[in-house]
Structure 1
């Protein structure tokens, strides 16, 4: 039984104005006039927070987005750079956003208004990661024996079809520049599932920062009625 629900995504950036404009156009989201550092769609779960951080991107991102597009050239016009083009063997292009963060573009004849197709997470053990997150937020674990990755689908609240965990040899070394938030009725069931508490809610932040079994950061938002009791645990 799931103990949390997917809430939204967060992207760390150095220049919020440029990156909000870029990701808004790439994903098909808009930024409200009263809050230029957030992107919104027709569902709360499509929200993407654009968080300014002082540190630059230094290593390959362990979390990235796969997006749909009518053409890779369209993404280049928005400010993306091609790192690896589409080929007969690779049916997507690997691109960099204006700050160098990796994402992948998939060309389609018919592109929906909301263009986020899947969330990709580099993993030492993709099966274990997929099954752990299925236990936390629900959904079905899927796998094609011909490929080494695992994915979740039919996750309650997830505004894109697939949440994919792919194998990589390198370990996680720095804070992820893309992370996700969840909501939960209580914090303890998330910790009992195997999450690590990195930072409790305090006077500066109104949420609980946790990490999954491979160290990927995520934030837990609790109903106000349960925050005090969890803070005293």
Structure 2
């Protein structure tokens, strides 16, 4: 039984219009400007929505939460405004580390054009002090069992899309400041607080909580019957 369900993703940006114009084609979404300080990116399903929200603080540290995307060619992402940070040919890893127009890290995985999905989010990566504990906590929230790999822990089917994973990886550096990427959930606040979440602040329509390692996420109440 889950405590909450996946709602959507949010990306903080100095310039939401510019970043929305970048992330829409990267993720295979359509851009829809809906309010002065935010841009909504829309897909064929509600869970694919990505909000690009204005903040006044520039990126200063490596993303604690980042997106993994599928692409037919690294050159396609560069043409949209991304930069290559570490090519997979040099690192020996299965992905290329890239940066968006505001310097935010993300990982690009090559796929055959015939196999490229319409929605190109592959996974959400989360840096952790204790990856196993974080995956276990979020596994309880989403009602799924973590899978342990060599070096990281994965939650499969935490979102409505069975192809999207949440990957928790241990890192030595501590978390510094607010994340620039977070997800929203739908659920009741009290059960999350009872299991170790904390309230950061309250908004008229949602509450901003932090998980046990301080990562922000927003909780929206379930629809009324």
| TM-score above 0.5, yes or no | yes
Whether 1:212 aligns to 2:215 is no
Q: CA deviation at 1:158?
A: 4.7
Q: CA deviation at 1:157?
A: 2.5
TM-score, with structure 2 as normaliser: 0.93
Which whole-Å CA distance do the structure 1 matches of 2:18 and 2:107 have between them? Answer: 19
State whether residues 7 and 157 of structure 1, in contact with CA within 8 Å, keep that contact through their aligned partners in structure 2. no
- What's 1:138 paired with? 143
- What's 2:221 paired with? 222
Whether 1:183 aligns to 2:204 is no
Q: CA deviation at 1:90?
A: 1.2
Which whole-Å CA distance do the structure 2 matches of 1:212 and 1:28 have between them? Answer: 29
Instruction: Please give the residue correspondences for 1:25-44 in structure 2 after superposition, counting only pairs within 5 Å.
Output: 25-32=25-32, 34=34, 37-44=39-46
CA 1:34/1:51 → structure 2, altered by over 3 Å: closer, same or farther? closer
CA 1:33/1:213 → structure 2, altered by over 3 Å: closer, same or farther? closer
Which whole-Å CA distance do the structure 2 matches of 1:106 and 1:224 have between them? Answer: 36
The match for 1:50 among 52, 63, 68 is: 52
Instruction: Please give the residue correspondences for 1:59-208 in structure 2 after superposition, counting only pairs within 5 Å.
Output: 59-87=61-89, 89-109=92-112, 110-144=115-149, 147-158=150-161, 160-184=163-187, 186-201=188-203, 205-208=204-207
Cα-to-partner distance string for 1:107-148 (whole Å, 9 max, x where unaligned): 11121111000000000110110010010112221112xx11
Which whole-Å CA distance do the structure 2 matches of 1:50 and 1:32 have between them? Answer: 10
Which whole-Å CA distance do the structure 1 matches of 2:159 and 2:153 have between them? Answer: 18
Cα-to-partner distance string for 1:23-60 (whole Å, 9 max, x where unaligned): 00100000236567100111111000010000000000
For structure 2, the 5+ residue unaligned runs are none
For structure 1, the 5+ residue unaligned runs are 226-233
Which whole-Å CA distance do the structure 1 matches of 2:139 and 2:96 have between them? Answer: 28
TM-score, with structure 1 as normaliser: 0.90
